[in-house]
DNA sequence: TTAACATATTCCAATTTAGGAATATGATAA
DNA sequence: TTATCATATTCCTAAATTGGAATATGTTAA
């Protein structure tokens, strides 16, 4: 496609498994240099730099110069928009899970008490 | 690219703005026929069917036959995995927001009481 | 300066994707 | 059956995306 994906947004940024890995690593280990990510991910350096470029573009990571290294750190607030969007539907799935649980319990009752209560 | 995007996952499914719109519509209005979505989205029917196909593939919507219509409804539990993933970082952004707030308050104090307290 | 290191960018090829148009399939009504 | 309505699928094209290789840029040390 094309027409709609003009701009990279946060949802696209985290659609890539490798990029989610990067987010996870930065969350767990704090600011990391590109080289550290290369080691951790087992990807060639240019690939890592490119993924970081996407994450940077949407602002979910930020860079700081430190000697010849570039330290990347997570800007977690940017993930809040995703959280907020998904949270809108939380009520729906918890209700659905409720219903699933209720049906399971109903079946259990029917097992032990075939006539119903 | 290609090598990694072999399987469509839920993150990819909701990376498309139109598909998020579909999710929102189904959440708000309950089960809808394809035609209703076509009207609501203002997209050609084949485009809608294709988006629905992607959403169906990852299980975030389900279809039911009803006469000549196909009713699509949201399977919200599938969104829980996204919620869970993002929630992992909730602590980080709330801390960051705390810090931002604290700095703002600090600046405010410095405004009103230039010598500090 | 120059060499070495860390990272970014560019070019390329393969793949995916969305939209558009046309067409196929499925279901109901006549 | 046949016509019609609702939806899905196929074919095509343009654009985007990723990885890979090569190369460019920037920074520090010698």
d(CA B58, CA B6): 13
Selection from A80, A75, A38, A83 nearest residue A56 by Cα? A75
d(CA B3, CA B24): 31
**What pLDDT, in 10s, does the model give residues B17-27?**
999 999 999 99
Tell me: pLDDT of A63 over 60: yes
**What pLDDT, in 10s, does the model give residues A50-59?**
999 999 999 9
Model pLDDT, residue A8 = 84
Q: Is the CB of B63 under 7 A from strand D?
A: yes
Phi, psi of B113 (to 5 degrees): -140, 75
Model pLDDT, residue A5 = 38
**What pLDDT, in 10s, does the model give residues B73-107?**
999 999 999 999 999 999 998 887 677 777 777 77
**Residue B86 near residue A83 (C-beta atoms within 8 A):** yes
In this prediction, residue B114 has a pLDDT band, given cuts at 50, 70 and 90, of low
Q: Nucleotides of chain C within 7 Å of a protein C-beta?
A: 5-10, 13-23, 26-28
Which residues in range 16-75 of chain A are in contact with strand D, contact meaning CB within 7 A of any of its atoms?
A: 16, 18-19, 43-44, 46-47, 50-51, 54, 65, 67-68
The number of C-alpha atoms within 13 Å of A114 and in the hemisphere containing its C-beta is: 0
Entry pTM: 0.84
Answer whether B18 sits within 8 Å of A4, measured CB to CB. Answer: yes
Task: Give mean pLDDT, residues B50-77.
Answer: 96
Query: How close are the terminal C-alpha atoms of chain A, in Å?
Result: 57
d(CA B15, CA A17): 13
Model pLDDT, residue B107 = 77
Q: Which residues of A touch B77 (CB under 8 A)?
A: 93, 96-97
Tell me: pLDDT of A109 over 90: no
The number of C-alpha atoms within 13 Å of A31 and in the hemisphere containing its C-beta is: 10
How far from chain centre, in Å, is Cα A22?
Answer: 10
**B-chain residue closest to A30, CA distance:** B92
CB burial of residue B13 (10 Å; 0-12, 13-18, 19+):
buried
Beta-carbon contacts of B75 under 8 Å, excluding residues fewer than 6 positions away, are A96, B59, B60, B61, B62
d(CA A9, CA A27): 20
Q: In angstroms, what separates the C-alpha of B89 from chain A's closest C-alpha?
A: 7
Model pLDDT, residue B117 = 37
Interatomic separation, CA of residue B48 and C1' of nucleotide C16, rounded (Å): 18
Tell me: pLDDT of A4 over 50: no
- Cβ atoms within 10 A of the Cβ of B17, count? 14
Residues 4 through 43 of chain A touching chain B, CB cutoff 8 Å? 4-5, 9, 11-12, 14-18, 20, 23-24, 27
Answer whether B86 sits within 8 Å of A83, measured CB to CB. Answer: yes
């Amino acid at each position: 496609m094309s027409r709609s994906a003009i701009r990279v947004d946060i949802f696209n940024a985290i659609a890539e498994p490798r990029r989610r890995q990067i987010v996870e690593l930065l969350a767990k280990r704090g600011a990391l240099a590109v080289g550290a990510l290369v080691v951790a991910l087992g990807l060639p350096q240019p690939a890592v730099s490119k993924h970081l470029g996407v994450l940077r573009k949407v602002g979910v990571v930020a860079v700081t110069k430190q000697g010849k290294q570039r330290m990347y750190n997570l800007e977690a607030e940017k993930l809040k928009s995703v959280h907020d969007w998904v949270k809108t539907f939380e009520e729906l799935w918890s209700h659905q899970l409720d219903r699933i649980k209720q049906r399971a319990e109903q079946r259990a009752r029917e097992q032990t008490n075939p006539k119903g209560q």
